[in-house]
Amino acid sequence: MALLFAAAVRVIAKKFTLVRTAVVLASLAVLAVGCRRPPEPAADLSLRYIRPAQTWNEALPVGNGRLGAMVFGGVPRERIQFNEDTLWTGAPHDYSHPGAAEYLGPIRELLFAGRPREAERLAMEHFMSVPLGQMAYQPFGDLAIDFPGHEAVTGYERDLDIGRAVGTVRYKVGGVTFFREVFASCPDQVIVVRLTADKKGALAFSLGLDSPHEAKKLTTDGPRQTLAIAVKDGALKGLALVQVETDGKVRGAGGSIAVTEATEATIYLAAATNFVDHRDVGADPAKRAEAYLNAVQGKSFARIRKDHIADHRALFERFAVDFGSNGRETLPTDERLRAFARAPEDPGLVALYVQYGRYLLISSSRPGTQPATLQGVWNQDLDPAWGSKYTTNINAEMNYWPAEATNLAECHEPFFRLIEECAETGRATARVHYGADGWVLHHNTDLWRGTAPINHSNHGMWLGGSGWVSRHMWEHFLFTRDEDFLRDRAWPVMREAARFYAGVLVPDPKTGWLISAPSNSPEIGGMVAGPTMDHQIIRSLFTACVEASEILGQDREFAAELARLIPRIAPNRIGRLGQLQEWMEDVDDPDEHHRHVSHLWGVHPGADITWEKTPELMEAARRSLRFRGDEGTGWSLAWKINFWARFLEGDRAYELIKLLLRVKDESTVNWSGGSYINLFDSHPPFQIDGNFGGAAGIVEMLVQSHQGFIDVLPALPAALPSGSLRGVCARGGFELDMAWKDGRLTRLSVLSKAGELCRVRYQGKLREFPTGKGKRYPVAF
């Protein structure tokens, strides 16, 4: 093989110029690599279609955490709409409202006097973020590729193989097969488009960059094109570069690069901005983009592709899920979704949804990148829904629900960094708005790490954000038992978040309980004193702090103070309808079908309300969820899957899965969730949280570990009678492999990564055994 390869290289070297030789070598290397490539992941991990995307929500996402692109797969024009995760409106900025703290007392007094609308008005004048809103995530640009003569094509297919993170397009024109591959490489930090024809010299196309930003400048120089842009409202600038390598002829002129008489061509797209961090925008985008592009010049396409696939698989293949098949995986994904709407028996689609959530997390959140926004890393609008920011009263957190359990803890990292940065900026907000120590995050943040209350005091005053996000760092510790992480990163964040709440809880004049005020119960009921959710979050944070201080042997006095406060915080209460009260007053409306179900936080993602510990509260919470009903936006449906999983009602949870997989088109305007045909979650519009929350919820039906033991198949629905899971993580530093058949567990083994005592429960039976680090244990029931 090696000899043949060398001989071929010699022959070819005589025939072609140096540049062309490099390209041909690269393609030979593809063949060589192809021979040695390990077996490909299961082929049914693909989304596939027999038509190009007509709209953005039909296009297919690729991403490397920093760069994202939506691939339309069009003929005769391909559109690749791309993003870079640090391109936002705005500039480094402190959003605090000077003098706000003076109004905290008066706002509280109005609330306690039963005059909430006046309290809201006073807060609007003196207590809100400056400016009132936060900044928006921006699209970067479009790469258009035109294929003259490709109007009438046959045998068209496009797909996205989420096991390898490669999108492909294939079709024929006049007997010639044209093939495209697109991926976003994390090791090489470029988006790569590979074009081939199976007839020598038959490939011809022209390409050009463009951008929706008004301030843009395009220059073409031979095989390279440069697009420089600047956002309208803010300090951020971007630079994108495309470079074509081909065995054909290349001519760059005017706004485009034309390639003719080619058999293959590779397009590299690099992009960067001047963003360094939330305080610094001093980088040089051109230098950065050029460095990315220069770094791939000496590397063959085959090598780049191989490294990309290996990098993706290293994360993706740590976890596997199989629910069996009914043969529908051969259908195009849009037809498959429509078939599911008619007959929701497609266990393979449910498994694909879990893996797609993991694919999206790997593609939008890698160490060193920004966390996944409301749209991950994918957005085409200058004015995206809710700024495509980070809403912390559910959405940003939900994005990270699958991270630990589905074995993608690294992908959690960007969120940890955001939390640490908000812990910095939130210190100013705590001081300026509350005269308090510690840090606070209200219901939203952005690239600049805004932490003050935004939009309107009837929902933006909610102060639970810092408590909820801090829990993510604690959860990472619970899953990994990584004490270094707990000491160095989680503890400072958790402790200072707790310090803020310890400083601002106030006695309720009516009941004497410590409550949070002013606040909101997201996003219903306007400004209130003492929403149930806040108390659940604060209690859970304080409890975690007491435990962490014990483990670390640090800050014991502070922990003791928190321990004294815990029993004084307003408890969960059961109201007149047998419901879990959402507020201090028993005013829940059983006909309220609001998408937020915040007072059930203690059921999920919190862990204080369980059938074991607090069955009456669990019953009341379930009653509240029944009142709220099933319908909701995508993320609301996803949360309800998790709730029903915790209520141990698998069939009920499956009803919500059906709604989440309900096929949606662009014309959907009412706020009921579902899936677009590219499986993006529909809020509507597209919002990625439902993808992540849905994936996490399906796993929560199969493995739970929030009660001090691992519960196996706690909410298995009749619709998933047989299946297997590999590499699913549980708290305590455990990783499980398991299978079930006809609704019964048939195989279970537990890998212990931290050497802790293992407690596993199946159908009420508990097994308990000590473990050694790195050892795997079969468990029989």
* List of residues contacting ligand FUC (CB under 6 A): 374, 386, 391, 395, 523, 595-596, 633, 635, 683, 687
Residue found by looking up tokens 């299961």 in the block: 42
Nearer CB in complex with ligand FUC: 554/668: 668
Name which of 207 and 638 has its Cβ closer to ligand FUC: 638
Residue nearer to ligand FUC on the CB measure, 688 or 695: 688
Please work out, in degrees rounded to the nearest 5, the angle formed at the alpha carbon of residue 638 by the alpha carbons of 632 and 643.
Answer: 100
What stretches of 647-748 show up as alpha helix (H) in DSSP?
Answer: 650-660, 689-702
Q: How far is the CB of 395 from ligand FUC (least distance, A)?
A: 5
Give CA–CA dist 212/235, Å, rounded.
Answer: 17
Distances from the Cα of 47 to the Cα of 165, 327, 336, 383, 662, angstroms: 11, 14, 10, 29, 16
* Alpha-carbon distances, residue 638 vs 399, 463, 607, 714 (angstroms): 11, 23, 18, 18
Nearer to ligand FUC, 513 or 639 (CB): 639
Tell me the C-alpha distance between 738 and 722, whole Å.
Answer: 11
- CB closer to ligand FUC, 64 vs 633: 633
Longest Cα–Cα distance of the chain, Å, equals 92
Minimal distance in Å, beta carbon 668 to ligand FUC? 14
Name, in order, each residue with C-beta under 8 angstroms of 182's C-beta and a sequence gap of 6 or more: 62, 69, 71, 80, 166, 167, 168, 191, 192, 193, 194
DSSP 247: S
Cβ distance to ligand FUC smaller for residue 596 or 646: 596
Contact 228, 239 (CB under 8 A): yes
Please give the C-alpha separations between residue 698 and each of 106, 402, 404, 704, 730, in angstroms, as whole numbers: 46, 10, 14, 11, 14
CB 123 within 8 A of CB 194: no
State the virtual CA torsion across 89, 94, 97, 99 in degrees, nearest 10: -160
Q: How far is the CB of 385 from ligand FUC (least distance, A)?
A: 7
- Classify residue 213 by burial, with Cβ atoms within 10 Å: 0-12, 13-18, 19+: buried
**Which helix H or strand E contains 729, and what residues bound it?**
strand 723-730
Minimum CB–partner distance for residue 343 and ligand FUC (Å): 30
- Cβ of residue 594: shortest distance to ligand FUC, in angstroms? 9
- The one-letter amino acid code at 80 reads I
| Residue of 476, 215, 562, 639 lying closest to 484 (CA atoms) | 476
* Min dist. Cβ of residue 388 to ligand FUC (A): 9
Q: How far apart are CA 104 and CA 517, in angstroms?
A: 9
| Least gap, CB of 196 to ligand FUC (angstroms) | 42
How are beta strands 710-712 and 758-762 bridged, if at all? parallel
Which residue lies nearer to ligand FUC by CB, 206 or 391?
A: 391
Q: What is the DSSP letter of 245?
A: E
Q: Which is nearer to ligand FUC, 687 or 752 (CB)?
A: 687
Q: How far is the CB of 647 from ligand FUC (least distance, A)?
A: 23
In the complex with ligand FUC, the residue whose CB is nearer, 308 or 459, is 459
538, 505 in Cβ contact below 8 A?
yes
Dihedrals phi, psi of 434, to nearest 5 degrees: -125, -5
Nearest approach in angstroms of CB 522 to ligand FUC is 7
Angle 761-763-765 from CA coordinates, rounded to 5° = 50
* Smallest gap from residue 126 Cβ to ligand FUC (A): 23
The residues with which 266 forms a beta bridge, in sequence order, are 194, 245
Query: Nearer to ligand FUC by C-beta: 374 or 696?
Result: 374
Task: Provide, rounded to whole angstroms, the least separation between the CB of residue 683 and ligand FUC.
Answer: 6
Nearer to ligand FUC, 252 or 460 (CB): 460
How near is the Cβ of 266 to ligand FUC at its closest, in Å? Answer: 38
Nearer to ligand FUC, 16 or 671 (CB): 671
